[in-house]
Structure 1
Amino acid sequence: MTLEHLKEKKAILFDLDGTLVDSMWMWKEIDIEYLGKFGLNCPEDLQKVIEGMSFSETAVYFKNRFQLEDSLEQIKQDWISMSLYKYKHEVPLKPGAGEFLQWAKARNMVMGIATSNGREMVDAVLESLKISKYFSQVTTACEVAAGKPAPDIYLKVAADLGVKPKQCAVFEDVPAGIMAGKNAGMDVVAVYDQFSVHMDEEKRQLADCYIHDFFELLNEEKTGDLL
């Protein structure tokens, strides 16, 4: 996929954490701290298991797996409280993401976000980084029947933007998200993230192309296909 190919699309849809913003490190820290309050260690397989789950689905998983007495709402509220400061003050854009958003906006592409995160946290980071203006639609997985890798969230964002799936390009950082975009019938660009570096081979196999950062994509306009 080249930048010329992207220019043919009417819409660009983004995952948020690990794709547009560098925040996956934060969630591992929160999981360790949260479980530590109950005297529990964070299992090594946890991040892979919850990959793509909606915020609500993740709360259900935690409650069942770790036999937590707190209500689902209390679990989610604790996570929100633990994450809001970091989202507002410590989470940056991924390299080149701001420039790429400007590039797409200048070409009148419509853009949307499809995230597994909770709405309050999404709004916090979009406002902090001053990128809300770029997105005509922001949808969380809690608003659809099933989280990633199901295609529901990407199909909803496309429908809300008034475009067909084949007219969309998706940017994602983990296999479950890439599969969600592909299952929705969309072209998918896999984005490097340190948190998911051990999944790089799987990401390359699933996606239509792979980029290390958004600058790499912008520099591809005259150099041919991405690998």
Structure 2
Amino acid sequence: MQAAIFDLDGTLLDSMHIWADVDAEFLAKRGIVVPDDYTEIITPMSLDETAVYTIARFGLEEGVDDLKREWNRMVEVAYTHDVGLKPYAREYLLSLKEHGMKLAVATSLPRSLYEPALANNGLLHLFDALCSTDEVGVGKRRPDVFLLAAERLATAASSCVVYEDLLEAIISARQAGMTTYAVYDESSKAGWQKMVEIADGTIYNFKDAAIPGVGATAPGCSLVL
């Protein structure tokens, strides 16, 4: 493997609880209780897709840009100052760099949120490419954002490994010919068993995670090469 492509929310960043709070607060202001299936449906979507879906599902009168601005206002302080990393994520990224791997971000977050979060956690300088689904116009049910990351890294898809906590993203990255690591997060536990079945590797804790291509594995990380 020559390059590693990372999701942020739920993979490198311990941030999914923030979006659950945003969903609840946003809909409560409009007299709506969050439906049981809402989070699962919107998680693979880009921010634009989420806004379109939310407006249609709940019959809202606001426009797409209105929703995006409100959501961004609700979370910008948290992403700038409060959102932290998953345990040992920093050390794992540094290990990948030491082994000569190029690093990229492929996230559904807009630049206005992911750059401050990475900078606040001292990681921004580690990445060779930063990509958002905003740039490709579709969510992670399609591999476009992963392919954009590979292009910016000047690396073939077959030489990239994608780290994700989302089943749909694991599926689309594999369809693009990339190696995949499923990263456990409580927010996506419903799809975890399926991710274990289809991903090339699984990570429960970055402390124990293997370096792709090195071959050694440790408790908490299983890898098929």
TM-score tier by shorter-chain length is over 0.9
Describe the shift of the 1:59–1:107 C-alpha distance in structure 2 as closer, same or farther (beyond 3 A). same
TM-score, normalised by the number of residues in structure 2: 0.92
Partner of 2:182: 190
Q: Deviations over 1:150-195 (max 9, x none)?
A: 1111111101110000100110001011112111110100001111
Equivalent residue in structure 2 for 1:76, among 68, 72, 81: 68
- Give the total of aligned pairs: 219
Answer 1 or 2: higher relative contact order, Cα 8 Å, separation at least 6: 1
The question of whether the paired residues in 1 share the 8 Å contact of 2:6 and 2:12 is answered with yes
The one-letter code of the counterpart of 2:16 is M
TM-score, normalised by the number of residues in structure 1: 0.91
Equivalent residue in structure 2 for 1:221, among 216, 219, 223: 216
Partner of 1:136: 128
1:88 matched to 2:84? The reply is: no
Describe the shift of the 1:96–1:109 C-alpha distance in structure 2 as closer, same or farther (beyond 3 A). same
Deviation at 1:71, TM superposition (A): 1.6
Partner of 1:123: 115
Give unpaired runs (5+ residues) of structure 2. Answer: none
SS in 2 for 1:226: strand
The question of whether the paired residues in 2 share the 8 Å contact of 1:15 and 1:177 is answered with no
Distance in 1 between residues matched to 2:101 and 2:202, nearest whole Å: 21
Alignment root-mean-square deviation, CA: 1.7
The one-letter code of the counterpart of 1:164 is A
Q: Deviations over 1:177-224 (max 9, x none)?
A: 111211111010000111112221111122111110111114983659
Equivalent residue in structure 1 for 2:29, among 5, 17, 37: 37
% identity of equivalent residues: 36
Equivalent residue in structure 1 for 2:97, among 93, 105, 124: 105
1:56 matched to 2:11? The reply is: no
